[in-house]
Amino acid sequence: GHPTACAAALAVQEVIEEENLLENVRDKGAKLMERLAARFGNDPNVGDIRGRGLFIGIELVADRTTKEPLDPALQIHAKIKRRAMEEGLMCYPMAGTIDGKRGAHILLAPPFIIEKPEIEELVSLLGDAIDAALAEEC
C-alpha cells in the first residue's frame, strides 16, 4: 500500500541526497557536453547539441549553416543506430523530428554512474558511427 511506496520513495531520495547524485549528474553532463562539443563542434552534419544533465540531443543536418535537414530517404538514423550497436553503444537515433518526415537527431541518455573514461568512449564510438553512416552516402 501507500506507506510502503512512501518509504521506498523516501529511501531513494535519501540515497540521492547522500551520494550527491544530482550534482554528480550535472558534472558528468557538463563533461559529456564538453566532449561532444569538441568532437562535433565543427562537424558539417551536426546542427545543434543541447540537453540537460546526461540527457542530450544531437541534431543531424545536411548543412550546418542553413540547418537544411538530411534527405529522409538516406535513413541516416537507422544507419547510425546499426553502426553504434555493432560497436556496443546504445543511443537513440530518431527521424521525422521536424514534421514527421524530415529531421533527424540522436538522443543520448547514459547511466548516472558513467565515469570520465566511459564518456570518452561514448563520444569516440558515436563519432565513428556517425562518420561511417554518413560515409555510406557521401
Q: Where do the H-state alpha helices sit in the chain? A: 2-18, 21-40, 76-86, 116-135
Model pLDDT for residues 1-60, shown as the tens digit of each residue = 677 888 888 888 887 777 778 888 999 999 999 999 999 999 999 999 999 999 999 999
65 — alpha (psi -120 to 50), left (phi > 0) or beta? alpha
Mean pLDDT of 77-87: 96
In this prediction the pTM is: 0.84
Res 137: pLDDT: 66
**Residue 138 pLDDT grade (very low, low, confident, very high; cuts 50, 70, 90):** low
- What amino acid occupies position 118? E
Q: What percent of the chain has pLDDT over 90?
A: 77
